Amino acid sequence: MLRRRLSRLCAGEEKRVGTRTVVVGHRPVLETDAYVAQKFCDNRIVSSKYTLWNFLPKNLFEQFRRIANFYFLIIFLVQVIVDTPTSPVTSGLPLFFVITVTAIKQGYEDWLRHRADNEVNKSNVFIVENAKQVQKESEKIKVGDIVEVKADETFPCDLIFLASSSIDGTCYVTTASLDGESNFKTHYAVRDTTVLCTDEAIDALTATIECEQPQPDLYKFVGRIIIYRSNQEPVARSLGPENLLLKGATLKNTKKIYGVAVYTGMETKMALNYQGKSQKRSAVEKSINAFLIVYLCILLSKATVCTTLKYVWQSNPFNDEPWYNEKTKKERDTFKVLRMFTDFLSFMVLFNFIIPVSMYVTVEMQKFLGSFFISWDKEMYDEEIKEGALVNTSDLNEELGQVEYVFTDKTGTLTENSMEFIECCIDGHKYKDCLSEVDGFSQTDGPLKYGKAEKSREELFLRALCLCHTVQIKEADQVDGLIGHPERKYSYISSSPDEIALVKGAEKYGFTFLGLENDFMKIRNQKNETEMYQLLHVLNFDPVRRRMSVIVRTTTGKLLLFCKGADSSIFPRVQQEEIQQTKVHVDRNAMDGYRTLCVAFKELTQKEYDKIDRQLNEAKMALQDREEKMAKVFEDAEADMHLIGATAVEDRLQEQSAETIEALHAAGMKVWVLTGDKMETAKSTCYACRLFQTSTELLELTAKTVGESERKEDRLHELLMEYHKKLIQDVPKNRGGLKRSWTLSQEYGLIIDGSTLSLILNPSQDSSSSNYKNIFLQICLKCTAVLCCRMAPLQKAQIVRMVKNTKGSPITLSIGDGANDVSMILEAHVGIGIKGKEGRQASRNSDYAVPKFKHLRKLLLAHGHLYYVRIAHLVQYFFYKNLCFILPQFLYQFFCGFSQQPLYDAAYLTMYNICFTSLPILAYSLLEQHISIDMLTSDPQLYMKVSDNAMLQWRPFLYWTFLGAFEGLVFFFGVYFLFQNSSLEDNGKIFGNWTFGTIVFTVLVFTVTLKLALDTRFWTWMNHFVIWGSLAFYVFFSFFWGGVIWPFLKQQRMYFVFAHMLTSVSTWLAIILLIFISLFPEILLIVLKNIKEKNHQAGPFDLPMLVSYKRIENGYVKTEDAVTNLAERYPLRIL
């Protein structure tokens, strides 16, 4: 029976799939066979990764997927199973330390997620059951429950809005935690349930809701509610996004609302929109892996050489089995191949410390602790919002020093997103400043008509501004944080700052919007009379139509449609003869950098309105293709309109945005602006912020240049080939080898719009233009600046991905402030969010968040530069000190018959990387400033010194490797020659092999620590403490370790060795001499560089003020000359 009724209500609709039926309040309808009860998930939110039971196995599995950790696990197992020369503790303890520290860090982070989940899941909510309020935990809400939410509370799940404390059935919501939009949004209750404002009334409701299955789009919802009344036919009403209250949104300025749960828990739109950020890997991590492979090859070759030479040496029977060390029967019976393999594993264990496992922990700690310096930076604190910079991920600190491409949004990023009404034009007449009480005045603009428009047209235009919007009125004392006009006691609320600016603009000219009451819009005209208009329909704005309309009825019964939107959207729908006089103003305003909107109207007959009303109601009831059906109705309704005029709204540039862009250019970065704004407005902003210079030749690939004809692909091909020839084929090859490939004598800028980009990225099947993308990319890479306008959010991400995947994989950075920028922020190597007026969606999804665009300068030029230098030095230093550590061990095998005898004691093997040499490099990597921060921010060219991963290329890596090899040879053979005189004491006592190893180890620890002291340019008390403290701790530990007989050791081989060693004057002299010889090349290099610097420095110099990134010659300086210049002024040793 119910199905037959529904089929009558929704006649003609095709069979639906993917829908759910929700019974409101779990009150069954009369025909209980009309629906099949469905099972839905509970309302628990789970964002955590681990549970108490799976943490250990899951975390260990994830950690041992790391090559270095897995390698050391294998080494540890080999030591346990095979009879190796070193104790399993030497590998097991560092590995245990690394695994434990990482597990604690990840466990703590997951505990925070558990705690956040519990705060949400255990929060108290009120459910209406049996006409009473029942308090429950949020996680116990079920689909179909009627929930009451009070002012300033967050919606616990996705609710269909049934009723509110407001008479008109509206409520105000902020969705900043969902989509980043911080402005108030108005939602509407179902028309037939608005009167059900009490627990008893709402509990008596019998209804079912049919809606789509959960999907993540925040702005789409399709459904309908069927309300059952006794002895009456069921009533069906359409449900759309305006009826859906989303989990995570907050109720504002409304005492309470009732809603029915339709999506709960992990099926809510908020949960479906939660996507873990893709794991971003920095260039430094990739370099570490490459260097690791080289050192693994060195390790394998050492083990292979020693194993081979051992059996060559043992080919002599006397060496194989001397009289004092006869083999056991088991050793004689063992297969030779098995013995060789066991020996190979033993040598691997002996030399395994060449692979620096502790480096990973140090790098993690450096990134984590280093990120606090960004958060603590007082210069990046904004007094207006009382917030500073935020670090959401510390894994990419060094990437900030390697950026080549910056992709930025315009509105709210380069500009303030604070709209102010500037002027308007009516029928070609320009109106600026304020009108007088009645008459007003008009300014003429160029060749247009003198005087002003007719009075009736002026009033029609101002009425259109007062009526065509979704602005709401609230009393000023009820609205937190909103300051109204001092002479009025109300404030405007809207999801768009543009709309508020236009309503305020109309108020300046004498027409004031007084609010919406019972579907009637009230305005006060210039004569201080109140006018009433019945609001019949709102044709909402969407990014595809780029316009919105309202249909109103006047008190005289006249039906009017008012429409406002982008010129590209309005002009094709008005009388063509009306366009030209307004178009001149629109173009001029766009050139001045103003945001423009055109205003049109249309008078409807009753018959036309009835048709539109019927079609809209049918489209709203559809559960499938609702948007397409409504768009078709909108398209038909908004045809054949009459143009009235246009408005200009200013969005001012942010403070220092122009200077910041100049600095980024001077640092060798390319800046691309990706915006949804129209071309003229965006172009003007680009000139204002100096992205384009007056000498820049602009190349356009827009609908204007390509055309709208059927030949547009051919025309696009012609333009692409023309630009390609100009920028690439006709330009001579660089002989000097510029560091950045885009430095040309003539500056070029490219402008492209969304429609042309779609043509390039998605050419038609029959087109022979599959190489459009490659040609376009080559053109882009040769331009000094690129402007992409009319961009959809997905296209922004496509642009970033296209550049990111080019040859050489340049490091990209995206910066934006709104929800529409999230896709490109997630796509780029580094994502920066602006804590702007469009909410926090961008900053929450970013890697770093800053209050203003100007802070990007210091973030990249100072913090990014220093972080890269610090971590690059850390990585190279770790490989260097471990090579110094293990090379003497390798050389020692040539003098002990390749018997796998360790050179160092097990305690030294274990403590070398954990205690003796770890803290100095950690302090260096956190505090070092080879150039002052002020110098880095004032001279952006310094950024180019470390660009392109300069300090982690193969050349500096080989330098560090050869330096480590040289010092390892000095350590070993220096002590070896000392031991040529077997008696090092006057009493004739001789030193043994453990003394030999201890002397080598002492020289090693002091040399690698003092090497770091030589490299330090910025000394603090902490550097002094850890460097000299580490050396003192080594001496103290050696005395302590050798001064006690330890009961848990089988052999007391180190007993009194260190103290006895220092009684020899020869040993003291040898240690000091070997340290000096090892560091002599470094000292000599520093002295020569200082002499060279003084010779080239004529006198004290002042850094020039950064006025423009252009240079005297040809617009750009050759970076190889610039870097040479800088290297003389600021010595930073890349090698």
Q: How many other β-carbons are positioned within 10 Å of the β-carbon of residue 336?
A: 8
DSSP class of residue 574 equals B
Does residue 409 have an active-site annotation? yes
Q: Which two tokens stand for residue 587?
A: 């173009």
Tokens 């006895």 correspond to 1060
Q: How many residues does the chain have?
A: 1135
Candidate list 179, 199, 377, 409, residue with the active-site label:
409
Task: Answer for the pair 686, 662: CB distance below 8 angstroms, yes or no.
Answer: no
String of DSSP letters for 987-1015 = T--B--HHHHHHHHHHHHHHHHHHHHHHH
- Containing 788, the helix (H) or strand (E) segment is strand 785-789
How many H-runs (helices) and E-runs (strands) does the chain carry? 38, 33
Which of 651, 671, 653 is closest to 661 using CA atoms?
Answer: 671
Q: What are phi and psi of 533, to 5 degrees?
A: -135, 130
Instruction: Provide the strand spans (E) within 390-529.
Output: 390-391, 405-408, 415-426, 429-432, 472-475, 490-493, 512-517, 520-524
Rounded CA gap, 690 and 686, in Å?
6
- Containing 599, the helix (H) or strand (E) segment is strand 595-604
Task: Answer for the pair 653, 1099: CB distance below 8 angstroms, yes or no.
Answer: no
- Measured between alpha carbons, how far is residue 282 from residues 49, 486, 888 in Å? 23, 53, 33
**Going by C-beta distance under 8 Å and a sequence separation of 6 or more, which residues neighbour residue 826?**
277, 278, 797, 845
Show the CA angle centred on residue 1039, arms to residues 1034 and 1041, nearest 5°. 90
Rounded CA gap, 697 and 195, in Å?
64
Round the CA-based radius of gyration of the chain to a whole number and report it: 37
Rounded CA gap, 1056 and 956, in Å?
41
Pairing outcome for strands 830-834 and 812-816: parallel
Q: Classify 831 as helix, strand or coil.
A: strand
Tokens 């109207």 correspond to 601
**Going by C-beta distance under 8 Å and a sequence separation of 6 or more, which residues neighbour residue 1050?**
none
Q: How many other β-carbons are positioned within 10 Å of the β-carbon of residue 114?
A: 16
**Going by C-beta distance under 8 Å and a sequence separation of 6 or more, which residues neighbour residue 833?**
815, 816, 817, 821, 825, 840, 842, 843, 844, 845, 846, 848, 849, 850
Task: Answer for the pair 259, 245: CB distance below 8 angstroms, yes or no.
Answer: yes
Which of 200, 206, 209, 198 is closest to 256 using CA atoms?
Answer: 198
Rounded CA gap, 209 and 226, in Å?
6
Tokens 């089995």 correspond to 321
Rounded CA gap, 947 and 957, in Å?
16
**Going by C-beta distance under 8 Å and a sequence separation of 6 or more, which residues neighbour residue 24?**
144, 146, 162, 205, 206, 207, 208, 209, 225, 260
- Measured between alpha carbons, how far is residue 562 from residues 466, 558, 711 in Å? 10, 13, 36
**Going by C-beta distance under 8 Å and a sequence separation of 6 or more, which residues neighbour residue 225?**
24, 160, 190, 207, 208, 209, 210, 236, 237, 239
Q: Classify 604 as helix, strand or coil.
A: strand
Residues identified as active-site: 409
